[in-house]
Amino acid sequence: MSESAGSSVPPGSQTSLRNANQRRVLDTVRRDGRLTQAQISRRTALAPSTVSSIVHELIDAGLFVAASDGAGRRGQLIGFRGSAGHVVGIDVGHRHVTVAVADLNQEILAQRRHELPDEHRFAEDLELVGRTLDTLLRDRGTARSGLLAAGLTLPAPVDLEGRLISAGAILPAWSGIDVREEAGRRLGLPVVVENDANAGALGEHAWGAGRGARNMAYLKLGHGVGAGLILDGSLFRGATGSAGELGHTTVDETGRVCRCGNRGCLETYVSSGNITRLLADTHGADLTVPDLVAAALGGDLGCARVIGDTGRLLGTAVANLCNTINPELVVVGGELSRAGELLLAPLRDVVSRHGVHGGVRDLRIEAARLGIEAHVVGAVVLALQHAELPTGDAAGR
């Protein structure tokens, strides 16, 4: 049923068409998760009889399984069998790493987060990832041989081939490394590498606030400020992979020097280190963003003021972004987004004043529904997108 690299099946033959239709069904369930046969038919534009035949072949081959959704036989959901394979999601941040194992239905089965020390290095980080992955697999009784791919996200621009990060000032110990090759060698898996804001956009688009949106921006607020862009339903990465560097929008040409070398970047005002520093004299030098948010929600006026000012500063940059790409939705992620309307209300107010009316009139600005999990969910989505799926023949041999 499947075509190998050396297959002699002629293009346009009945077998070739059958293989292509099978691949469409597999890719649709991989992309969208469990679906009914009627949904698969609509999304692939294949005849219901064709879908039914392919689904039954894949069930017999051990790749698909049908489960009732409570609506009777016609409402059965078709998804991948648990034994069909697994993928890994890895989110490396400035101060943390999260490792997750998911099935081919996009369901995260297990995950673990570790805090990282200052100036953590590539080799040590990947060793920790490998140990954590081994622990997760052992605890679940899942064989490493069933892993198909891994997605790895980083808080830095990544080139279009997913190999090199291009901002040594952000993750200096990772700069200049062929991350895709080295991580793949150390983990023994095909690895796809992506910027964390892009991964957050993919995660929220697949399972969060962005489900169903065709054009959206995801803002990642943390040690830096990034934007992941979904345009016409697909991730937009730009000519070199650095699209969405919203944090380096110039706010004040005479402002402080940013780590990128420019002056007065948005990031120098609204990154987590800068907003907590504003409150160091009154709330202590060890104040964290979660502490700040909790205090603000509890009625602390100083913390609420800093969050509101941050929303207003973000609003100008977001208005400019919306004037450029005209999204229907802006999703705000990162730990600061937990402040909810304390952050979003002033942000919306500035966007409504500075955005072109026709472009922001119906714009929605919402907090990320996946919270800080958006990036590791996006890493899972990336792994699924690039995993080499087995086909019916491969499973049946």
- 70-to-59, 74, 75, 82, 365 alpha-carbon distances in Å: 20, 10, 7, 21, 35
Predicted confidence (pLDDT) per residue in 167-185, tens digit: 666 777 777 788 999 999 9
Average pLDDT, the chain: 89
Q: How many CB atoms lie within 10 A of CB 6?
A: 5
Residues 6+ apart with CB under 8 A from 218: 197, 200, 201, 204, 205, 210, 227, 228, 229, 230, 330, 331, 333, 368, 374
Please determine, for residue 67, whether its predicted confidence score (pLDDT) is greater than 90. no
Predicted confidence (pLDDT) per residue in 90-113, tens digit: 999 888 999 999 999 989 999 999
The single-letter DSSP state of residue 370 is S
Predicted confidence (pLDDT) per residue in 127-139, tens digit: 999 999 999 999 9
Please determine, for residue 330, whether its predicted confidence score (pLDDT) is greater than 80. yes
Predicted confidence (pLDDT) per residue in 3-40, tens digit: 444 455 566 678 888 889 999 999 999 888 899 999 99
**Domains present along the chain, CATH in parentheses:** 14-82 (1.10.10.10), 85-199 (3.30.420.40), 209-369 (3.30.420.40)
pLDDT band at 117 (very low <50, low <70, confident <90, very high): confident
**Mean pLDDT value of segment 134-150:** 94
Percent of the chain with pLDDT over 70: 92
Contact in structure between 323 and 217 (CB atoms under 8 Å): no
pLDDT of residue 6: 46
Q: 2 versus 182: which is more confidently predicted?
A: 182
Going by C-alpha positions, the residue among 327, 25, 293, 310 that lies closest to residue 201 is 327
Q: 356 versus 332: which is more confidently predicted?
A: 332
Contact in structure between 218 and 321 (CB atoms under 8 Å): no
Which residues in 335-345 are b (16+ Cβ under 10 Å) and which e? bbbbbeebbbe
pLDDT of residue 13: 75
pLDDT band at 284 (very low <50, low <70, confident <90, very high): very high
